[in-house]
Chain A
Amino acid sequence: MDVQGITQTSQYLTFKLDKEIYAMDITTVREVLDIIQITKVPQMPDFMRGVINLRGRVVPVVDLRLKFGMEKATFLKEACIVIIEVFLDGEETILGILVDAVQEVISLEPEQIDPPPRIGTRLKTEFIKGMGKKDQEFIIILETTKVFSAEELAIVQTADDMPIPEI
């Protein structure tokens, strides 16, 4: 079936999150890093793990598992940080995404992609661009502009919500 917006064969980077396979359009992906020290930024929501030093630039890192409501991963030796380009408030900036493992770059033709299902996935429908099918496996293709929009990222917890522990 046809998915609106996908009219030509494109390349996608596939990666794994808790046994499921996801993909992102390769044009948004800048680079993939092995996991490095992440500096935690206080009072940010859980899925904002912190920031890293990328060749002198301070880049925020999003834990995609937590963003999608999955459990936090315990130490995975294949974990990577995928650096992507996003638009936040009209400004082009980069973001790091923590994933379990990065797989490969594949090509998908429009015929191989189905529209996103209304139910059955734990993600909001708008996050999914389409469902790709390759070698009998389903690949969830993410709509990065929606997943990493300013609204989605900007939930900052205030200190008032948290009780200050007694001595």
Chain B
Amino acid sequence: MDESGRFIEEFCLEAEELLSGVEDAVLDIEENPGDQEAVNRLFRAMHTIKGSGAMFGFDAVSEFTHHVETVLDNVRNGTVPVSKTLIDLILMSRDRITAMLAEANGGGPPLDSQEGEEIVASLKALLYSDDTEPPVEKSSKEAPEENFVPVTPAPENEVVYRIRLSPDLDIFSTGMDPVMLLYDLADMGECCVVAQTEKVPDLENLSPESCYFSWDIILPTTKSVNAIRDVFIFVEDDCEIVIETVEEKGIASQEVSAPRLGDILVERGDIERKILDEEFDTHKKIGERLVESGALSKEKLKSALTEQTIVSKMHKSSVASTVRVPSDRLDKLINLVGELVITQARLTQVASTREDTELGESVEEIERLTGELRDSVLNIRMMPIGTIFNKFRRLVRDMSSQLNKEIELVTQGAETELDKTVLERLDDPLVHLIRNSLDHGVEPPEVREQRGKSQKGTIVLSAGHKGTNVVITIQDDGAGLNVEAIRQKAVEGGLISEHAELSDKKIFSQIFAPGFSTVRNVTSVSGRGVGMDVVKRTIDSLRGRIDIDSVPGEWTKVTLILPLTLAIINGLLVRIEDDFFVLPLMSVEECVEIKSKEVEMINGRNILNVRGDMVPYIRLRDRFHMGNRRPEREHVVITDVNNSRIGFVVDHVIGGHQTVIKPLGPAFKDIKNVSGATILGDGTVALILDTSVLLESA
């Protein structure tokens, strides 16, 4: 029973993936109705769900999906055209199937069967709309036979053929150019052709009207043997043609190892096994030796080698796949690797103090391997951001029709990879930001026309790597931000003073304050003022930054900068008294040295003059009550926190430090200024400071 439970889980996971693929395919078809490939994808997905569903007892799902599949089959062969109704129906069906699966697994609410019937009726209506004969009877007869479908989609049955084409000497006199045959074969699949030139005589004896070549062709193709034979239909009498199968792709399994050259040669009859075995006693490569000893011609060797390459490539590709791993196993692995990295750093430090070259060499090697291991393991958790981009297409489509606006979503950089946890936590903020653009950003078509813009608005969602960070931007060509309105609201809310002279950007960042909202009408979509500050907090918790910029009337752009991974921090190590602290490097701009004497105090705040710019600073020594003894020279780390520059005064800046973050544990859950701890090479604990909190409480 346990076994079948596991398979059912596998099926549900697979169905989930297929269904998200369905969504993408449908939206693709909506944009390009002629995209046959997308239609095929859709059909195959539904077909698989139907078959597997039946196999695992999800009868209702299977039956429902069958109707969708029928419609799609008709779309595939052109009887049903692609229309908005079709797209809507397929999306609705997809949602329904998801809900049905959730219900069957006990995780979803019970469904209204009438809804399901209505969808089925609409699907059937599509079929009869052209007065074509309802294929209902035919498909119901087909269904039982098709029930037994393997769980994975049937692999395209690609077979590798070995074709030997040896035309007669006087084939040219028939008007036939053998090259044309080769071209025909090339059309059927990616073939490799090796010409055999052994029979070509010396120039004196060469007759230009005779064909001395023969060809060995390796052809992986989905076409049948008969189709291949058809190519030679007109030359059967004038050529010697041998067609043999070498490999069938679908059946290639892990146990069968890639064929060896010697075996291939023997199989082809180029060499006798006896000679092959004799040669094995020496050490050179078998092919070379055979050529040298004269038992084999170079051409035949080249041909056989080509076959070997192609067939082993096929083996590799049929084995390459993905493995599903439960997240907690990955977490454990990452933890262990993190520990290993720390301990290895200590080892390196210790080894550097000893004058032992042998030890030093081994330790260096370990350092290199550990670094590679760490990178590999962290890479495992990386997923392309495209996975969440795709669901936004649906969101934009649905919402733009709901709001009666025309909006297009353009995505860039979908292949950019992020840590899985970061990706999951980014979901909500991104949804919120896109909704903002949809709701408040892009204007209705009439307004846009008035302003001389195109009726269709665009939201550009892009992602890319920049150094050790990921930068994600959401830009719309809508109304932009109203500086005055925001300013007013901020003043009203007591966030900024009436007379404060602030740059536009600073005013824009007030949007992230809790409770802030300039929208007059609260809609179901947005406007309650709880969104943006939650977004900011989420981004902060991911140790990222969020920035917003705009040109009123033209565009609004939100930029998110996130670290590549949560487990490791790039920090700046500093020392105060005997304790070590780490400041997140992302926010650090520069470090300056000051003598205790050159300090200006303006209005009770500590301010530093950095190349003409007034930068306020916080003395961490005082903030943390670490004693009054002040060193003569102190270092100031100038950071950019929430768009304002602030300096943190420490005793000494030690340098950059990349290390694994250790959580402090529930005992410190209320602590404010410290976001975690890290262990240094010599075992001491350094605390990681939270710069935005330190700033707030200044």
A residues near B, CB below 8 A?
Answer: 37, 39-44, 48, 51-53, 56-60, 88-89, 91, 93, 95, 150, 153-154, 156, 158-160, 162, 164-165, 167
Contacts and interface: CB of A to CB of B under 8 A. Distances in A.
Contact of A51 (B599, B664, B672): B664
Nearest to A166: B601
A167 B601 contact: yes
A53 to B, nearest CB: 5
Question: Which of A44, A160, A162, A167 is most buried by chain B, counting CB atoms within 10 A of its CB?
Answer: A167
A89 B670 CA distance: 12
B589 interface: no
A38 to B, nearest CB: 9
19 contacts: A39-B579, A41-B664, A42-B673, A42-B674, A43-B625, A43-B671, A44-B671, A53-B679, A56-B343, A56-B662, A57-B662, A58-B665, A60-B664, A60-B667, A88-B665, A89-B669, A156-B672, A159-B623, A164-B622
Interface of B: 339, 342-343, 579-580, 599, 601, 622-626, 628, 662-674, 677, 679, 683-687, 697
B630 to A, nearest CB: 9
Nearest to B580: A39
Contacts of B662: 56-58
B318 to A, nearest CB: 42
B672 A52 contact: no
A42 B686 CA distance: 12
A43 B685 contact: no
A42 B626 contact: yes
Contacts of A56: 339, 342-343, 662, 679
B673 to A, nearest CB: 6
A154 B670 contact: yes
A39 B601 CA distance: 32
A45 to B, nearest CB: 11
Given A51-B685, A167-B599, A41 B665 contact: no
B623 to A, nearest CB: 6
A112 B671 CA distance: 42
Contacts of A43: 624-625, 671-673
Contacts of B342: 56
Given A42-B626, A165-B628, A95 B685 contact: no
Contacts of A53: 679, 683-685
A44 B665 CA distance: 14
A93 to B, nearest CB: 5
A164 B674 CA distance: 19
B671 A156 contact: yes
A58 B672 contact: no
Contacts of A91: 666
A103 B677 CA distance: 32
A165 B672 CA distance: 21
B174 to A, nearest CB: 81
A53 B662 CA distance: 10
A41 B687 contact: yes
A16 to B, nearest CB: 24
Contacts of B683: 37, 53
Nearest to A86: B667
Contact of A93 (B666, B671, B679): B666
B579 A40 contact: yes
Contact of A60 (B626, B665, B686): B665
B548 to A, nearest CB: 29
Given A41-B674, A165-B622, 8 more contacts: A51-B664, A53-B685, A60-B667, A60-B668, A88-B665, A89-B666, A156-B671, A160-B697
Contacts of B599: 167
A153 B599 CA distance: 39
Contacts of A159: 623, 697
B646 to A, nearest CB: 15
A137 to B, nearest CB: 32
B684 A37 contact: yes
Contacts of B687: 39, 41-42, 51
Given A42-B624, A60-B664, A52 B685 contact: yes
Nearest to A50: B685
A91 B677 CA distance: 19
Contacts of A48: 667
Identify the interface centre among B599, B623, B667, B687: most chain A CB within 10 Å of its CB: B667
B676 to A, nearest CB: 8
A39 B666 contact: no
A119 B348 CA distance: 57
Nearest to B685: A39
Contacts of B628: 165
A19 B342 CA distance: 40
A123 to B, nearest CB: 20
A57 B677 CA distance: 10
A60 B672 CA distance: 16
Contacts of A59: 665
Contacts of B663: 58
B667 A95 contact: yes
A154 B671 CA distance: 9
Contact of B667 (A88, A160, A165): A88
Nearest to A150: B666
A91 B668 CA distance: 13
Nearest to B336: A56
A50 to B, nearest CB: 8
